[in-house]
């Protein structure tokens, strides 16, 4: 998916997630919901405030230690219940054909495992960059699981949804978990964390980083020592994937270098997005206002909980 012009991207981030977001009423009957107008749901981005590769399993999956935090900027998904049982999607998404669309895969998985006879029409408004390391596809899938579990009255618990989510990708469970968290294992073992308030400047280099390519590279550092999370400090955190990604994608290195002129900065996930944290919104917006015209990004507030946390128990 091609990136919007820099000016448009920078303006788009100023508002965070759309205002007036109508969340699904928890008291509506299934019949009323089936007749209701479509509902819009947020699919927030995540940042990895730290990422260490601490080993590798025999099956090839890497063992990680990471800190997840949601931010108030992301994709938007509109869902309408269909009474005919069909799963359909709205707008076509460049670079995301229907057969690999995680929103449809999530809906199909939930429908199969719960034997639901309901269907859904799902329309995804994509704001998060593909290959950006901010969890766009994973967040989209989790939002569909949370929303449809509620709309279809399938009744799965949060823990049960997390098990389903792992079948869709290693990053999907944390969006169901719904809180700032320490992630271990392949990222699915989650422990809630209390993080200080923060605002973030997130830059999106105009490249897509292939996660599988990074994790398969022989130069990737795979033997970091786990840290004591009680001593975690975002200001001193590192990302073990960052050096390799910067060598392979000079644009990532350039954006990171620019951001580090204004404070401690880090790459999130396997890239390409980079970010820096600030104590106040004013400080973050001041740095954002200095962006060169050929760079794009947004300002976002750190969240303690996923905006759809209340939809699961």
Domains located in the chain, CATH noted: 6-311 (3.30.230.10)
Q: How confident is the model at residue 97 (pLDDT cuts 50, 70, 90)?
A: confident
The encoded tokens of residue 78 equal: 């509109």
Alpha carbon distance 300, 79 (integer Å): 25
**Residue 54, pLDDT score:** 96
Alpha carbon distance 284, 213 (integer Å): 32
Catalytic residue from among 46, 75, 111, 240: 46
* Cis peptide leading into residue 40 (ω within 30°): no
Average pLDDT of span 290-309:
98
**Residue 257, pLDDT score:** 98
Alpha carbon distance 189, 182 (integer Å): 8
SS3 of residue 14 by DSSP: helix
Q: How confident is the model at residue 41 (pLDDT cuts 50, 70, 90)?
A: very high
Catalytic residue from among 75, 140, 171, 240: 171
Q: How confident is the model at residue 95 (pLDDT cuts 50, 70, 90)?
A: confident
SS3 of residue 277 by DSSP: strand
Please write the tens of the pLDDT for every residue from 200-226: 999 999 999 999 999 999 999 999 999
**Residue 231, pLDDT score:** 67
Please write the tens of the pLDDT for every residue from 124-139: 999 999 999 999 999 9
Alpha carbon distance 124, 142 (integer Å): 13
**Residue 94, pLDDT score:** 83
Per-residue buried b or exposed e for 278-292, using 16+ beta carbons within 10 Å of the residue's own CB: beeeebbeebbeebe
What pTM was estimated for this model as a whole?
Answer: 0.88
Average pLDDT of span 71-98:
93
Active site residue 72: no
Alpha carbon distance 143, 160 (integer Å): 15
Average pLDDT of span 130-154:
97
Q: Does residue 276 contact residue 264 with C-beta atoms inside 8 Å? A: yes
Alpha carbon distance 266, 262 (integer Å): 12
The encoded tokens of residue 131 equal: 């290959």
Average pLDDT of span 3-29:
37
Active site residue 301: no
Please, what is the angle between helix 136-151 and helix 158-168, to 10°?
140
């Amino acid at each position: 998916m091609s990136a919007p012009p820099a000016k448009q991207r920078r303006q788009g981030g100023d508002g965070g997630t759309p205002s007036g977001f109508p969340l699904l009423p928890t008291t509506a009957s299934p019949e009323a919901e089936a007749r209701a107008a479509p509902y819009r749901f947020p699919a927030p981005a995540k940042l990895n405030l730290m990422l260490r590769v601490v080993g590798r399993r025999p099956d090839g999956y890497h063992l990680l230690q990471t800190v997840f935090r949601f931010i108030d900027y992301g994709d938007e998904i509109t869902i309408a219940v269909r009474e005919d049982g069909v799963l359909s999607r709205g707008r076509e998404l460049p670079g995301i054909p229907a057969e690999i669309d995680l929103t449809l895969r999530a809906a199909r998985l939930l429908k199969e495992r719960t034997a639901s006879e309901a269907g859904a029409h799902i329309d995804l408004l994509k704001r998060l960059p593909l290959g950006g390391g901010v969890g766009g596809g994973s967040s989209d899938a989790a939002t569909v699981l949370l929303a449809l579990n509620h709309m279809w009255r399938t009744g799965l618990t949060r823990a049960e949804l997390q098990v389903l989510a792992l079948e869709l990708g290693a990053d999907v469970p944390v969006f169901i978990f719904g809180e700032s968290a320490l992630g271990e294992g392949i990222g699915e073992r989650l422990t809630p964390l209390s993080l200080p308030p923060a605002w973030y400047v997130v830059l999106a280099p105009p490249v897509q980083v292939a996660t599988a390519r990074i994790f398969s590279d022989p130069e990737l550092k795979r033997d970091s020592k786990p840290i004591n999370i009680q001593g975690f400090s975002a200001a001193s955190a590192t990302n073990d994937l960052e050096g390799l990604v910067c060598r392979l994608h000079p644009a990532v290195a350039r954006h990171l270098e620019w951001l580090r002129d204004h404070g401690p900065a880090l790459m999130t996930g396997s890239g390409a997005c980079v970010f820096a944290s600030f104590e106040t919104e004013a400080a973050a917006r001041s740095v954002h206002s200095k962006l060169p015209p050929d760079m794009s990004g947004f300002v976002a507030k750190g969240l303690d909980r996923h905006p759809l946390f209340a939809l699961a128990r």
